[in-house]
Structure 1
Amino acid sequence: MTESASIIQPLLHYSGHWLVPFAIGWLIWRDSWLRAGAIIASANLIDLDHLLADPIFDPGRCSIGFHLLHGWEATIVYAALLMVPHRWARALGIGALLHLGVDYGDCLMQNLPA
């Protein structure tokens, strides 16, 4: 990874996990964007599946397809949440899919196999 990519990668990663959810909340649910953004950001809790791995954090490992809540089966569940008629369920599905997208982009930037 180049030096500029090593600076940009964590910036994109953490803003994707913590700032973009509130921007999405504002774009979709302007009347309650803060609550929606918090629900979308709460989807970052899918990272708790990292606690089941040994080691818990490995900078050379792509989480997509490795961790339980980062696999294709979980992705289907997250996509199904988009069809639930409750705002909080759709926001949680958006957040989980956003989380996977950010993590996948992270793997691409680090040239890690997904």
Structure 2
Amino acid sequence: MPDVELRAPLHLLLHVLVPVALARLCWPRDWKRAALWMLAAWVIDLDHLLADPVYAPGRCSIGFHPLHTWPAILVYAGLALPKKTRWFGIGLLIHIALDGIDCLLMQASHAT
């Protein structure tokens, strides 16, 4: 299990690499636009500014921050359906999925 010093930068790197890779794979002709829209989904991390401290390496975002709750996630899934908002919605869902994986890694590291 990666420790905090490795987990945090890897987590941030994946927030860039996964949307870009998906855009290249699924929308090769429009991959740059698709990637930018998906990367724009990082805007949901603005809800971290409401927390004290803003960054806590051992805190799971899912269920804690307002834009990382199940009602918000349902909205993101809805945004992924219409063509006009699809890339942004997919970006939001990727962001949430990566945050969820990070939460699982944190739980696993605390269990050992």
* TM-score tier after normalising by the smaller chain length: 0.7 to 0.9
| Residues 1:97 and 2:61 are matched in the alignment | no
Displacement after TM superposition at 1:9 (Å): 2.4
- 1:13 maps to 11
What residue identity is the alignment partner of 1:93? G
Displacement after TM superposition at 1:107 (Å): 1.1
Q: Unpaired runs of 5+ in structure 1? A: none
Written as runs of structure 1 = structure 2, the 5 A alignment for 1:47-86 is 47-86=45-84
Q: Given the two structures, how large is their TM-score scaled by the length of structure 2?
A: 0.87
> How far apart, in 2, do the equivalents of 1:83 and 1:47 lie?
22
What residue identity is the alignment partner of 2:17? L
Between stretches 12-21 and 74-83, larger displacement belongs to 12-21
> How far apart, in 1, do the equivalents of 2:72 and 2:99 lie?
14
RMSD: 1.9
Displacement after TM superposition at 1:39 (Å): 0.8
Displacement after TM superposition at 1:42 (Å): 1.0
User: Displaced runs of 4+ in structure 1, greater than 4 A?
Assistant: none
Displacement after TM superposition at 1:12 (Å): 3.7
Identity across the alignment (%): 46
Any conservation in 1 of the 2:8–2:57 contact (CA below 8 Å)?
A: no
Displacement after TM superposition at 1:11 (Å): 4.9
Q: Deviations over 1:5-43 (max 9, x none)?
A: 126523541232011111111112111101111110110
Between stretches 62-71 and 20-29, larger displacement belongs to 20-29
> How far apart, in 1, do the equivalents of 2:9 and 2:48 lie?
21
